[in-house]
Structure 1
Amino acid sequence: MINIALQGAEFFAYHGFYPEEQKLGCRYLVDIEVGFVPQAAIMADELDNTVDYEKLYIIACEEMKHTRKLIETVGQGILDKIIGKYPFVKTIHVAIKKVNPPLMGKVAHSSVVISYPSAI
């Protein structure tokens, strides 16, 4: 099995349950890890034989542009798009961190992790 990962992809987006969050926006960090068994010889040195991390970044970019109330929904959207693009993947972990969430005290980030296959 091969794992491909992006760590700390940074976005400014407008997710949040409260209207103020959707208006003001916030900084987010996205981590994506995808595990797969290569469909062809990896030694062929061809991008088509692997998961392209640039495409993972583009998928995250597209999903972060769609304002949602819950970062869980954003994470699930990223996961679903990865499965659609790479149906041969065996595992996916998407973590989204909301940096400095608007709470009554100082918090580095809130986060959600969505995994495939689901443990449920």
Structure 2
Amino acid sequence: MTRIGLEGMEFHAFHGYYESERKMGSQFLLDVYVELKSDLVDSEDIHDTVNYENIYMICKKEMREPKQLLETVAYNIVNKLKTKFDIIEKVDLKLHKIGVQLGGKVQKSVIEYSN
């Protein structure tokens, strides 16, 4: 099994159920791992793997599109990655929303999605 990952991608984005969240925005951290359908081969051809630059660009694009639910953001990123790259078997994603306002001290909320 071969996994490729990007950890700690940082975004200021405008996701949230409440209008104030979508207006002010929040800080997010995003971790994404993709599992390839086949093991790596003795090749220097980027087409035998997934270029993590492409993973980042898909994540960046989806983080720019405001959504009410983080679950929707997570689903969209995973779906786009699996649709664009036939070589991907599975995607594991963890999306952290930093400094959520719940009336008490909460460091972050987290959404995890695997498919």
* TM more than 0.5: yes
1:109 maps to amino acid: K
Match of 2:104 in 1: 105
1:86 matched to 2:85? The reply is: yes
- Report the secondary structure of 1:51's partner residue: coil
Aligned to 2:22: 22
Q: Which residue of 2 aligns with 1:9?
A: 9
Runs of 4+ more than 2 Å apart? none
Q: Which runs of 5+ in 1 are unaligned?
A: none
Q: What's the TM-score, normalizing by structure 2?
A: 0.95
Cα distance between partner residues in 2 of 1:24 and 1:68: 13
Tell me how far 1:88 sits from its aligned partner.
Answer: 2.6
Q: What is the alpha-carbon distance in structure 2 between the residues aligned to residue 70 and residue 87 of structure 1?
A: 27
The aligned counterpart of 1:33 is: 33
Q: What RMSD in Å do the two structures reach over aligned CA positions?
A: 1.3
Q: Which runs of 5+ in 2 are unaligned?
A: none
Q: Find the aligned partners of 1:105 and 1:36 in 2 and give their Cα distance.
A: 41
Q: Point out the more displaced range, 10-19 or 102-111.
A: 102-111
Q: How does 1:57-68 map to 2 (within 5 A)?
A: 57-68=56-67
Aligned residue pair count: 115
How many angstroms apart in 2 are the aligned matches of 1:106 and 1:42?
48
Partners of 2:89 and 2:83 lie apart in 1 by 13
Q: Tell me how far apart the structure 2 counterparts of residues 15 and 37 of structure 1 sit (CA, whole Å).
A: 32
